[in-house]
């Protein structure tokens, strides 16, 4: 077995494990934890179980797509590392991972209550893109705008789910 096919096999096993976890989430955790009220109809809005089920469907479809990619084109398993030598666990703490967790904490606990979800998300995305090495100002502005527009269209317009507002926006 070559290193390339071995990498594809390992990733396929990981996908099978993750698909099993999604199945447990969909078939066991959602029915136990998210109870739809009796007689709840579409005229009252989407049932509470809609969002977790939608996430399960999307995750499963993405994993199945990736599994198919790996099955028919094992060379797609070779993914360049996004870490740098300074992030090696043998050398200490993974700085990039810790920065990402700190950014998520600041985002959820400080930025959203003050700026609101949409503006805070823009700040977070610009920060994450900068951390990943993006230097083009146009891309730093355009990509967050595209993501925020898609989130607004999906949640606010299509699903009628209002995302948190802050003191400013």
Q: Using alpha carbons only, what angle is made at residue 101 by residues 125 and 32, rounded to the nearest 5 degrees?
A: 100
CA–CA gap between residue 168 and residue 113 (Å, rounded) = 9
H-assigned helices in 34-94: 50-72
pLDDT of residue 16: 92
With beta carbons less than 8 A apart as the criterion, state whether 148 and 118 touch. yes
Stretch 1-9: mean pLDDT, rounded? 66
More confident residue, 149 or 77: 149
> Residue 2's pLDDT band (boundaries 50, 70, 90)?
low
Radius of gyration for the alpha carbons in the chain, expressed in angstroms and rounded: 20
Q: 12-20 — which CB contacts under 8 Å span 24+ positions? A: 12/67, 12/70, 12/71, 15/63, 15/66, 15/67, 15/70, 16/67, 18/59, 18/63, 19/60, 19/63, 19/64, 19/67
**Can you give the pLDDT at residue 100?**
73
For residue 4, pLDDT over 80 is answered with no
Residues 6+ apart with CB under 8 A from 124: 103, 104, 107, 111
| pLDDT value of residue 87 | 46
Residue holding tokens 């994993």?
63
Please state the pTM of the whole predicted model: 0.51
- Per-residue pLDDT tens over the stretch 78-135: 654 555 544 444 455 566 667 777 877 888 788 888 888 889 889 989 988 887 788 9
pLDDT in tens, 44-81: 777 788 888 888 899 999 999 999 998 898 887 765 45
How much is the pLDDT for 141?
Answer: 94
- DSSP letters of 129-159? HHHTT---HHHHHHHHHHHHHHHIIIIIIIS
C-alpha 45/C-alpha 33 separation (Å) is 19
């Amino acid at each position: 077995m070559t290193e390339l096919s071995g990498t594809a096999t390992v990733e396929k096993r990981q996908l099978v494990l993750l698909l099993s976890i999604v199945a447990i989430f969909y078939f066991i955790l959602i029915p136990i934890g998210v109870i739809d009220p009796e007689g709840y109809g579409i005229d009252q809005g989407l049932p509470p179980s809609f969002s977790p089920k939608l996430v399960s469907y999307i995750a499963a479809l993405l994993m199945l797509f990736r599994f198919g990619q790996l099955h028919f084109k094992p060379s797609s398993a070779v993914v360049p590392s996004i870490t740098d030598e300074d992030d090696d666990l043998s050398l200490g703490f993974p700085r990039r991972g810790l920065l990402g967790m700190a950014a998520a904490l600041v985002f959820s606990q400080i930025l959203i209550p003050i700026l609101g979800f949409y503006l805070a998300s823009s700040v977070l995305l610009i920060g994450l893109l900068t951390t990943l090495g993006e230097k083009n100002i146009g891309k730093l502005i355009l990509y967050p705008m595209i993501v925020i527009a898609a989130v607004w269209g999906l949640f606010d317009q299509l699903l009628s789910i209002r995302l948190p507002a802050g003191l400013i926006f």
